[in-house]
Chain A
Amino acid sequence: MNCRECTEHLYEFLDKELTPEVEREIRTHLEDCPPCGEHFDFERLFLDFLQARCRARGAPPDLKRRILRELFDE
C-alpha cells in the first residue's frame, strides 16, 4: 500500500469502517511511514475535538416535560 492509497482510507480507518485486512495493511503502512502516521494522528485529534465540542449539550430540561404532557396528558 502506498501513501495515496493509505490516505484514501483515512476516515474509514479512523471511523473503524474497514475490513480487518485493509485495516491491517493501513496499520503496517502507518508504522513504516512517519508522515502518514503524523497526518492520521492529526485527523484523529481533529475528530476527537469535534466530538468533544458537539456532544456536550442535550435537550433543554423542560422539553421532556412538554413531551410527557403532550403524550400522556400529565
Chain B
Amino acid sequence: MSTATPATPAPGPVDEKRATFEREALVHLDSLYRVALRLTGNAADADDLVQETMLKAYRAWDQYEKGTNAKGWLLTILRHAFINEYRRRTRHPETVDLDAIEPYSVFGDVQDDDPQGTFFDRIVDDEVLRAIDQLPEQFRETVVLSDVEGLSYEEIARILEVPVGTVKSRLFRARRLLQRKLYDYAVGMGYIKASPA
C-alpha cells in the first residue's frame, strides 16, 4: 500500500523484545552451554539443546518476569528439554543407590604428605570434566549448577525441583566422589603417592 518507509523506523515491540532478550537471556549462553555439555556428554547435542532452549525461551519470553533470575529460568527450560528429549537417547538413567555411597574425604589420605592438595594443580581441565561426566546424573547436575555455575542451594533446588536438603546431601556426596576419583587418578599418574591403607 504505502511505499514511503521512514529512513529510520522507530523501535517497535519486536525490537524491544529482541533487545531485552539479548540483554537478559543471550548473556547466559556460556552458562547454558557448559551445563548442556555436561548433561548430554557431547558437543553436537549440547549445541542443539542450547539452541532449542533459546528458541523456547524466546517464545515464552512474555511469561518471564523481566529483571528476575533469568539464568535460573533458562536453566529450568534447558533441563526440562533435556529430560524430555535427550536423556533417553544419550545416556541411561543410572540405577546407582546414591545413599550407599560413602562420602569420606580425601583429606585423611593426604594430610601427612600434601595437606595443601598441591597434587590437584597437576590435573588438567579435561580430566576434571571427565570425572564429572562419570558421576551419576543426579550428582552431576547438582555439582555442575553449584561448582561450575556458582548457583545458591535455593536456586539449584528450584531448578532441580527438589528440597534444599536434597541439594545439600547430593552436593556433599558428589564432591566427595569427585574428589576421590581425582585423587585415584593423581595416584595412578604418580602425582602423589598412595597413602598406606
Which residues on A are within 8 Å of B, measured CB to CB?
10-12, 15, 17, 38-39, 41-43, 45-47, 49-51, 53-60, 63-64, 66-67, 70-72
Sample (5) of A-B pairs whose CB atoms are under 8 Å apart: A39-B105, A51-B150, A60-B43, A67-B26, A71-B18
- Residue on B nearest A50 in the bound complex, by CB: B147
Taking the complex as formed, is B179 at the interface, i.e. its CB lies under 8 A from any CB of chain A? yes
Bound CA–CA A59/B18 (angstroms): 20
Taking the complex as formed, is B45 at the interface, i.e. its CB lies under 8 A from any CB of chain A? no
Q: Which 4 A-B pairs have the closest CB atoms?
A: A58-B30, A59-B33, A53-B128, A54-B148
Query: Which residue of B51, B110, B125, B150 contacts A66 across the interface (Cβ within 8 Å)?
Result: B51
Chain B residues within an 8 Å CB radius of A45: 116-117, 120
Interface string of B26-37 (1 = CB under 8 A from A): 100110111000
Interface string of B159-197 (1 = CB under 8 A from A): 000000000100110010011000000000000000000
Chain B residues within an 8 Å CB radius of A54: 34, 125, 128-129, 132, 144, 147-148
Interface string of B112-156 (1 = CB under 8 A from A): 000111001101110011001000000000001011101011000
Chain A residues within an 8 Å CB radius of B178: 50
B147 near A63 (CB under 8 angstroms)? no
Q: A46-B117, A70-B51 are in contact. Are A53 and B30 (CB under 8 A)?
A: no
Chain A residues within an 8 Å CB radius of B54: 67, 70-71
Bound CA–CA A17/B123 (angstroms): 28
B125 near A56 (CB under 8 angstroms)? yes
Question: In residues 48-69 of chain B, which contact A (Cβ within 8 Å)?
Answer: 50-51, 54-55, 58
Bound CA–CA A42/B105 (angstroms): 10
A53 near B175 (CB under 8 angstroms)? no
Chain B residues within an 8 Å CB radius of A55: 34, 148
Chain B residues within an 8 Å CB radius of A49: 117, 120-121, 123
